[in-house]
Amino acid sequence: MFRSTIISTVLATTYFGTAAAFIGDATLFRPAIGACGAVSVDSDSVVALSPSQYANGTHCLQHILVHANGRTVDAIVVDLCPDCGSGSIALSPSAFFKLAPIDTGTGIIHVTWEFE
């Protein structure tokens, strides 16, 4: 059990220079009034973080860079994604479709991301 926990942690986080990059899945969500108190709409490039990365609001309104399919998008943390596992995020339509311009029907893309 202890060994699998260590392996999961190593796989969830890799390091590029001094910034930690997280690996996970991104899903699509419709923003409104987020857990950070900001009001957002579909055309805003915003993100909801998993409980472990949200860290009780520590990263509210911080920018992250999200990478997938050879593309990168800058998104602002505005919400908590309670169903997201560590490293996974939920993106607004604006951010999601910049990374996955063709909807594959799954509504999920594999991403890496880091705090700016």
Record the tokens describing residue 65, joined without a space.
């860079």
Residue reference for tokens 């994604």: 81
Record the tokens describing residue 24, joined without a space.
């996970």
pTM: 0.81
Q: What is the pLDDT of residues 67-86, one digit of tens each?
A: 999 999 999 999 999 999 99
Q: Are strands 71-80 and 89-91 parallel, antiparallel or unpaired?
A: unpaired
The span from the CA of 113 to the CA of 24, in Å, is: 8
Q: Are strands 63-68 and 108-115 parallel, antiparallel or unpaired?
A: antiparallel
Record the tokens describing residue 77, joined without a space.
């943390």
What CATH code is carried by the domain that includes residue 72? 2.40.40.10
The span from the CA of 18 to the CA of 74, in Å, is: 19
Q: State the residue range of the domain holding 107.
A: 2-115
Q: What is the pLDDT of residues 19-61, one digit of tens each?
A: 689 999 999 999 999 999 999 999 999 999 999 999 999 999 9
Domains contained in the chain, number = 1
Q: What are phi and psi of 63, to 5 degrees?
A: -90, 145
